[in-house]
Structures are given as structure tokens and as C-alpha cells.
Structure 1
Amino acid sequence: MKKIIFIKTLTLLLLSILIVSCTEPYALQTNTFEEAIVVEASITNEFKKQEIKISRTYRFEENGPTFETGATVIITDDQGNTYDFEEQSEMYISTSEFQAVPDRQYKLNITTADGKTYQSNNQTLTTANQIESLIPTVVTKGDGERGVQINVNSFDPTNTSKYYRYTYEETYKVIVPKWSPNDLYYNSLSNAFELSIRDPNTRICYSSVNSNTNILTSTNEQSEDRVNFPVRFISDQNYIISHRYSILVKQYVQNLESHTFYKTLKDLSSSGSILSQNQPGFFYGNIRAIENPNEKVIGFFDVSSVSTKRMFFNYADLFPDEPLPPYFNDCHIVTFNLTDPGPPSTTSELINAIENNTVRYFAHGYPEYHMVIPVCGDCTSFSSNIIPSFWIE
């Protein structure tokens, strides 16, 4: 999802250069489209297989970006080292694990299948700065909405980090509210509905969601390089914190060039419309086409130090003795009365609902069977019942 949002925003950006000082209503059409290569490249000081995404801008009527296949992707450094990447699952992944190290210059080199060459500016690793803590606090915003604000804290005594970008992955426990230890099925041999034992691992699941916006801050105007930044706010009515919640925050230290690129991208994506009085025009990253310097290239090669930290909390830790937030679905009980003559017969409707997997058994008192939709009675219908390896109760 984050990748698609990134590409779509940049596609809008490219289209905006073709619409200058619009003061009359204008209908965007396909003939305003200009294709450009899009590069999402970031390497860090984490020792791992690094990843790079290369695609093309896409038209509004298309479903999403087109992955650039068949490219040769290499990162080089100023000491003659070469790091090769190979194509895997619509990504370019380094063939071996490596990490960016201080005081070394890195350059991204791309040659597409049609022979075009693209190259980044030299980039060096930014200052390493560790996240000190993640603090959840109950707050009430200016509009009266109450919830949990999660602040990230860090401090760089050298006062050289300055520019920060954050991403997060949140994971939360889901307990379905209308779970039953039994399942219902139709036995055609006995011409009757019968109960079976439901898998007990369908009651509790764990869902994970990644952030999908650019979360940026800077300490450039502060006397010291100290971060106390709200990276996530969750309403106290959001079911994701109903039981146990965890967030893994990644802090990327950027240089000014990278920070400016991501901030401009964020400002453009939140401006509401590219058809505004203030046309942003096209802004370049740090990647250029070698054969044709006038070719528009979208994207940035970023070399950042990264720090990660995870924290957990239970709803009761922050909201003791308060009722849980409402589940994301109302979970109304649907009753099938088998004595209802129809047409169609209630029996056939219930059989179809079970076979089509659109209901789950909750309770019954013959001739009535009480059913719920899957998300209310079986968490595996939308989540995973595998406990994450990092999970702590």
C-alpha cells in the first residue's frame, strides 16, 4: 500500500507540470500523461539484504504502477566495492547482505532493459542516533477527540542528526466478540443441521498494518538535537487497542537533501488538488538520466542510519475500568427460523449461507439458528492466528 501511495503521488506530481496556472475547471485526460521512471531506493546501516523498487508512472484509469523488469541494478562505493541486486517479486534485492558504513560514498546505478542508464548523486551515511523511548500518553486533542498519543524520543549530543523520517508497523490482538466453540454444517445424509467442534484458534488473532504516509520532523530550529515527536495517535474508540497493542517504530536520520525531497512530496500529496493556484511544478530527486539529462526521473536514493524500537500496552493499562472500544463491525445476529415457510425456505437459505462461507454459527435453540458474519465469529476470516515471534503478553 505504501508503495502504491508513493507512486500515485509522484504520478500526480508529474501530471502537475503539464497543468500550469489553471484558473478554469479542467478535466484530466489520458492525453496529459507523461511516462517517467520511478525509483524508491534506500539503504541503511542495518546489515541485511537491501531493497530497491523501480517502476513507471501510470494513468488514472490504470490500477497501479508497472514494475520495471529486466533492469541491471548496482550500488557502488568510493572504495571500489560493488553491490549487485537481482529481481525478486517486483523488487530488486541485493544478492548478499551488506550495510552502509560511515565516511563512505555510495552511488546507485540502473540500466533498464532498453539500455537507458540512470545514476544517483553520491550519498553518505547520516549520523547514527538511537531511539531512546516510545511513550504512550492519554491525550485529548483540540477537537475534543481523546486517545493514545505515542511519542518517539531521541537525542543526538553531537547535534548533527537534525532531520528525521519515521515509519511504523503496528500489531494488535483481535478477539472476535461472537465466537462459539461449535460450528454448524448441513448433513445431507441425515437431512439435518449438525454441530461440530470449531478450531479454538479462530477466536484470537493478530493483525499487522504498516504506516503509509511520510512522517517527518526536524530539530534544525532547536538549540539541541532532541526529539519528542508524536508519531502516532489512536482514538480511544478504535478497536485496534481494545486488548493488546504493539508498535515498532523505525527512525531514519536523513540529510537535508533527502528531507527536502520527502517534505515536498508530503506537502504535495496533502495539498488536496494539483489543480490549485499554487502549482508545485516538477521537482527532481537525486537521480538523473545519463543519456538524456532532460528526461524526467522521479525518486531519490537515500542512505540513512536507522534505529528501531518496539513497545506494548494493554487497553486497561491506559483506560482502567473503562469499557472497551466498539468492535469495528456491529456484529448483529442473523436468525434463521426453520419453521418459516418462505419462499425461499429458510433451510435452503441457511444451507447456502454456510456453503458460501458468509455466516458463522453462534448459538441456536431449535428451530432458530443464530448466525453472525465471519468477521464477528472467526478472526481467521480477516487476520492471522499465528502469534508473532516478537509478541509478549
Structure 2
Amino acid sequence: MSYLFLLPCYHLLTTISNFNKVKQFKVIYIVIIALIITSCKEPYAPNLTKTNNNLLVIEGFINTGADSTLINLSKTVLVDNKNTASPELNATVTVESDANNTYLLKDIGKGLYVSAGLNLDNSKKYRLRIKTSKGTVYISDFVEPKVAPPIDDVVWDIKDDGVQIYVNTHDNTNNSKYYRWEYNDTWEFQAEYYSMYISNGKDVVDRNQLTDNIFTCWAGGKSSNVLIGSSIKSEKDIIHKSPLTFIPTDAEKISVKYSILVKQMVLTKDAYDFWERLKKNTENLGSIFDAQPSQLTGNVHNAADLSEPVIGYIGAGTTQTKRIFIAKNKLPSWTRKYPYACYPLDSIFIISPKTGSRDEDKFFHTKIMVPIEEIKINNVIVAHKGTTKECGDCTIRGVNKRPTFWD
């Protein structure tokens, strides 16, 4: 570990040390030394490289069971680049066995290559072959498929500041030891206001709540952190409460109902070491005492140039999944934080009493605002209360079609 960060404080430390010879300054000396150690650090702003080597990044897993195989190909981008991904398009991707069988993956665009369940022989070894649109060939090492045991439970604990979700699993044969998880989560949420009406372009009419409800929607996401666990230091192959994700008390995800689908894979020792390095490099940095970045050497290589770095590790095997639901009534009475600022409803008149113009044409028929409820005078509708689409229409950030798996 380098101690260069203390150099700006050297002269001050030398001066202060003289105080120690005098008894009455002993307390002052201790206090000042503590302040120096915690504050005499100069900020470090690294120079970001302006050279993009366009390294190939390979994400995926050869599923030898009934589940689909999905491979994502992209190229590295500069840290300060506004684009977060540069997909590798129009490549040819195949799975190969050590028995000379090949299985072509379908190019579905955006750097994604997929195959339905391959149902492969787990006694064989498998690798991935990639031929880019420019003709460059990349090949992964042959790997032994690992058969994943079932997930025992996906459990959750209520904390003071939210909900922590964990996974439990075990392998009675003691053959797994190294695990990795991914998840997809889905949540039901609601708009701030319930819209009873809709504009047909000419008039504001009753909304069909069966086919066009914009109050209740569903949204989803997927894991972004590296989720791994190992039982190698235990006598039994058991994983107990390995953390998956944490949801704060005010998150919209748990404002109505939340669901998480966890996928479990078993890794080889080499694959686990790769994912562990990746986890340290991407999640555990931030202080001088943290692990420093290491070379992410995977098992994929340029067939014509072994010196070219390739980012990614291709494993193979079966997967196991498990889904749970968390309903709002199972949680404390937490208050959600709505993602937009919503103000009291505005009154939009059919004919403005001030200007005589048709305000509904301006706000509702142009879809700038959403009509919420009617305003009557002498039993005649003269206006509707309205709000912004962000506050009255959940479909701007979700879908109003109930998922088929929704409980």
C-alpha cells in the first residue's frame, strides 16, 4: 500500500512531534495527529484514457438444459462516453461440443444471440465460437457442464430501512461449491391519480377501465451486480442467506406487490475466480484500503491473436429458478416516494370563462394532460380536472397488461 497521500502533511507532522516533549501538550498532540491522519489527503483525479481499444465483451452462459441460451456481444466504450453499450452486430455464434456437434444461435439484433433449450449431453464439454461481421474468430475454452441443484428458498427480512432478499440452496452430493445467481424482478405500481376519462380527440369521454386502465401498471428490471457464493470453506455444500438485493422502504417496487425470479447456476473454480475478480473490480473499490483492479482474464480468445484481451467467461450447465412474491400487506406501513412531483389537479374548462376558447382542445386532446374527474355546474359537465401524464398515466414507464405469471 502506498503512503504518498501523507506527504503533504510531512512538515506539519514534524513540527507537531516536538510538542510531545512537553507534557502539557500531550493531549493536543494526540488530537491533532488523529485529525491529520483522517484529513491530510489530497484528492486524486485520474486521467481517463482517450483511446478506446474496442475490446470484445461476451456475456452469457451455455445452458445445457431446457432453458434458453442467451449470449450478449458488445464492444468496450470510453468511460466518459454517453453511450453505455456498443453492441456487436451481425456476428455468427455457435455452440460446439467436444464430439464435433454444433448448434447455431439466432441473431435477434442489438448484439443478442439466442437459442431455445438445447438439451445437451452433460457428459460432453462445450465451447462458444464467434465470428464477427469483419471475419474475426473468437473461441472459448471447452468447459465441463455443471448441473445446478434446486434453489431451497428465496427469503426476505424486514429491516428498519427496507427489505433484504436472500437465496438459500444446498447440494447433498457436495459437487457444486461455487454458485452464481441472476434475477429478474417485476413490480405492480400505481399512478398518483386515477383517470376516469379519456380524450377521443374531440371530446372527453368515459374511459374503458377494462381495456384502457392507466392507473395500475407493471414494470421490471434485472440484476446488475455480480451475485456469487461459495461453500468451499464449509464441511457441507450449503449456502444460507446469500444476499441478492435490497429494496428501500420508500421504493415504488414494494408499494403494491413485488416479485423476483431468481436463476441459479453452478460454476467451475476458474469461472468463480473470474466472477470474484469482476466483483472486486466493479463493486468493492472506493478507498485506499480496497482491493486494486486486476486483469480480467477470461476463457475466450482471438483464434488468430492470443495476445488480444477479450472480456468475459463462458460457462455451461443447467440452471434452476424460483419465484416469490411480496405483497404490501406483508410489510410495515411504509410510504412510497413517487418519482415525479405531482401538484393539485387543474380545472380545464370545455369553454374557458375568461377567453372563450376551448381549453380541452389545448390540454386534453393534444395529450399534454390526462383528464381525471368531471366538474359539473347545475348537473352539466363544464370542465374536467386534469394532471400531467407523469402523474396520471402509469403506461409512460410500465405496461398495463397483467403478466401471465402474476399471482
TM-score range, shorter-chain basis?
0.7 to 0.9
Shift of 1:261: 1.4
Q: Distance in 1 between matches of 2:403 and 2:106?
A: 29
State the 1:346 CA deviation: 9.8
Query: Which residue among 66, 69, 72 is the counterpart of 2:89?
Result: 69
Q: How many residues align?
A: 353
| Residues 1:82 and 2:102 aligned together | yes
Residue identity opposite 2:315 in structure 1: D
Distance in 2, Cα, partners of 1:340 & 1:275: 67
Amino acid at match of 2:81: E
Q: Distance in 2 between matches of 1:215 and 1:346?
A: 62
Shift of 1:299: 1.3
Aligned to 1:6: none
Name the aligned partner's letter for residue 361 of structure 1: P
Match of 2:322 among 294, 305, 309: 309
Paired residue for 1:269? 282
Letter in 1 for 2:330: D
Q: What is the aligned partner in structure 1 of residue 362 from structure 2?
A: 352
Q: What is the alpha-carbon distance in structure 2 between the residues aligned to residue 84 and residue 224 of structure 1?
A: 39
> Runs of 4+ in structure 1 displaced over 6 angstroms?
273-278
CA contact (8 A) 2:178 2:229 kept: yes
Aligned to 1:168: 183
Q: For 1:279 and 1:149, how far apart are their aligned partners in 2?
A: 28
Query: Partners in 1 of 2:247 and 2:373 — Cα distance?
Result: 34
- Alpha-carbon separation, structure 2, partners of 1:242 and 1:130: 30
> Using a 3 Å threshold, how does the CA distance of structure 1 residues 175 and 92 change in structure 2: closer, same or farther?
closer
> Would the aligned equivalents of 1:38 and 1:298 in 2 still touch at CA under 8 Å?
yes
Structure 2 match to 1:207: 219
Q: 2:197 corresponds to which residue?
A: 182
Q: 2:149 aligns with which of 129, 148, 155?
A: 129
Deviation at 1:250, TM superposition (A): 0.9
Q: In the TM superposition, what is the alpha-carbon distance from 1:195 to its structure 2 partner?
A: 3.3
Assess if the C-alpha contact under 8 Å between 1:159 and 1:224 holds in 2.
yes
Match of 2:364, SS state, is helix
Q: 1:38 aligns with which of 54, 57, 68?
A: 57
**Contact conserved, 1:176 with 1:204, CA < 8 A, in 2?**
yes
State whether structure 2 residue 174 is matched by structure 1 residue 159. yes
One-letter code aligned to 2:310 = V
Conservation of the 8 A alpha-carbon contact between 1:178 and 1:331: no
Distance 2:348 2:133 in 1: 64
- The structure with higher relative contact order (CA 8 Å, sep 6+) is 1
SS at match of 1:300: coil
TM-score by length of 1: 0.79
Offset at 1:364? Answer: 4.6
Q: Do 1:333 and 1:370's aligned partners in 2 also have CA atoms closer than 8 Å?
A: no
Partners of 1:43 and 1:100 within 8 A in 2: no
For residues 96 and 305 of structure 1, the distance between their equivalents in structure 2, rounded to whole angstroms, comes to: 13
Cα gap change, 1:385/1:272 in structure 2, threshold over 3 Å: closer, same or farther?
same
Contact 2:263 2:322 in 1 (8 A): yes
Matches within 5 A, 1:229-244: 229-244=242-257
Post-superposition CA distance 1:98-152 (Å, at most 9, x none): 0344332112222223332221111011132110112232223xxxx2x222221
Deviation at 1:324, TM superposition (A): 4.9
- Residue identity opposite 1:73 in structure 2: V
Instruction: Give the counterpart of 1:53 among 69, 72, 78.
Output: 72
SS in 2 for 1:124: coil
1:307-346 matched pairs, under 5 angstroms = 307-319=320-332, 322=333, 324-336=335-347, 341=354
Alignment of 1:293 with 2:306, yes or no, is yes
Query: Which residue of 223, 226, 229 corresponds with 2:238?
Result: 226
One-letter amino acid matched to 2:325: F
After superposition, the Cα gap between the structure-2 partners of 1:128 and 1:253, relative to the gap in structure 1 and judged at 3 Å, is: same
- Secondary structure of 2:259 counterpart: strand
Unaligned 5+ residue runs, structure 1?
1-22, 188-193
Structure of higher CA gyration radius: 2
Q: Which amino acid letter does the alignment assign opposite residue 273 of structure 2?
A: T
Q: CA contact under 8 A between 1:176 and 1:203: conserved in structure 2?
A: yes
Deviation at 1:62, TM superposition (A): 5.1
Structure having the higher strand fraction is 1
Q: 2: CA distance between counterparts of 1:274 and 1:324?
A: 34
RMSD: 3.0
* Structure-1 separation of matches of 2:247 and 2:391: 22
CA contact (8 A) 1:361 1:371 kept: yes
> Residue type matched to 2:154 in 1?
L
Amino acid paired to 2:228: L
TM-score (norm 2): 0.77
| Secondary structure of residue in 2 paired with 1:220 | coil
Give the secondary structure class of the aligned counterpart of 1:180: coil
Cα distance in structure 2, aligned partners of 1:271 and 1:247: 25
Q: Secondary structure at the match of 1:388?
A: coil
User: What amino acid is the match of 1:165?
Assistant: R
* Aligned counterparts of 1:160 and 1:204: Cα–Cα separation in 2: 45
Code of the residue aligned with 1:34 in structure 2: it is: N
Q: Once structures 1 and 2 are overlaid, which stretch shifts more, 177-186 or 201-210?
A: 177-186
